[in-house]
Amino acid sequence: MLEHVFWGNTLQNYLLAFIVIALFVAIGQIFSATVVKILKKLATKTETILDDVLIEVLEKPSIFALFIVGFYLMSSFLTFSERGYQVYNNVLMMLIVINVTWALIKLMEVLMDHYLTPMSQKRKSKLDEQVLPFLKKTLRVVILLIAFIFILKNMGFDVTSLIAGLGIGGLAFALAAQPLLMNLFGGIMIMADKPFQIDDRVRINQVYEGYVKEMGMRSTTISTANGTLLQVPNSVVASGVIENLSATETHAIRVLFNLGLEYSTSAEKVEEAISIVKEIFEREEAVSNDVGYFVTFNEFKDSSLNISCGYSINTPGSAGSVKTKVNLAIKRRFEQAGINFAYPTQTVYVKNS
């Protein structure tokens, strides 16, 4: 019965090939249960962690390598046609690439866990805690992509022509992915430069201000003084002017604004307006005295006399209520003093000929 021939081989040949593979699978299980266990115990007694890293990296890929050896020796008992031998070689090479890729990914992850993670913990940087997972995922994708390209090339595909064959579809995809790539590389630039840490208070382009809560692949999350969350694209953060307010000795919030008075306002009333604003700043307890305030008559605008003001708030959590209190106080005192705010106006003079 074993003499019947199927695809050029007898049942006896297939049985022997199966026995060889099963034998090496069993050897792999025994290797894992005995040799690896002994090596792990020996590694715990040494001071260096290099042996622990090697055992952790090679444990499962080495077991899979024994299966590949069995698959290779299987060909000694089987006869292939020219096409069948080509398929067999492609499968064998694919298994080897998968195993090497598996080992490289494990090596990368183990090295990061044993070396980079402790280094980031010593530095106590919350930004590093988000950089490492981001970097790990990126490297894993790169290794898998290289392995996939290598497998395609080994199977006879022209990888260069395949990529070029994407044509207009590839170009359209590249254009659609351009914002994503800009934000991705923006995030990498932020991680490399580290202009701030998680929970730092920053001001970006004099527009976005708050505490950095999270940094993802696409955007940076900022918690504002009003309790809202801003998702600022990484490309904007990376290319913008970043002011790290937490790097200073004080954590007060800076408030800047302008007051426009009517052009009919006398010089004496302008001086009175400046005195009123200064008095309000001095009386308000939440206004920081460490950073100081300023009130200046700084500009003749098209429709108003401009007074520039600035002060700092000691308690960032109450910024909204402090601003409201200060602004209402200025409004009431100006109304009592008969000082009027300007609005855009235009005077037209007509000359009789």
Q: First vs last Cα of the chain: how many Å apart?
A: 126
- Digit-by-digit pLDDT tens for the chain (353 residues) are 445 555 667 778 788 888 888 888 888 888 777 877 777 777 677 766 666 677 777 778 888 888 888 888 888 887 777 887 888 888 888 989 898 998 888 888 887 777 766 666 665 555 556 667 777 777 888 888 888 888 887 777 776 665 555 555 555 555 555 776 777 777 777 777 778 888 888 888 878 888 888 877 778 888 887 778 888 888 888 888 888 877 665 567 778 899 999 999 999 999 999 999 999 998 888 887 666 789 999 999 888 999 999 988 877 667 788 889 999 999 999 999 999 998 876 667 777 76
Range of the domain at 316: 253-337
Q: How far apart are CA 197 and CA 190, in angstroms?
A: 10
CA dist., res. 78 & res. 291, Å (int): 85
The model carries a pTM of: 0.50
User: Which amino acid does the sequence have at 82?
Assistant: E
Please report whether residue 173 resides in a domain: no
Residue 169 forms part of a structural domain? no
Q: Please tell me whether residues 215 and 72 are part of one structural domain.
A: no
Quick check: is 176 in a domain? no
Helix (H, G, I), strand (E, B), or coil: what is residue 212? strand
- Structural domain count, the chain: 3
Torsion sign, CA atoms 236, 242, 244, 245: negative
3-state DSSP call for residue 215? strand
Query: Are residues 219 and 333 both part of a single domain?
Result: no
Convert 204-234 to b/e letters by CB count within 10 Å (16 or more is b).
beeebbbbbeebeebbbbbbebeeeebebbb
Cα–Cα distance, 335 to 326 (Å, whole number): 14
Q: Considering Cα of 65, then 70, then 73, then 78, what sign does the dihedral take?
A: negative
Residues 212 and 330 in one domain: no
- Residue 298 DSSP SS3: strand
Alpha carbons 243 and 206: distance in angstroms, whole number: 8
Residue 52 and residue 75: Cα distance in Å, rounded?
36
Q: Are the beta carbons of 314 and 286 closer than 8 angstroms?
A: yes
217 located within any domain: yes
CA dist., res. 199 & res. 213, Å (int): 6
Residue 48 lies in a domain: yes
31 and 147 share one domain: yes
What amino acid is encoded at 125 in this protein?
S
DSSP 8-class letter at 338: T
CB under 8 A, 24+ apart: contacts of 288-296: 288/250, 288/252, 288/312, 288/313, 288/314, 290/249, 290/250, 290/252, 291/250, 291/252, 291/254
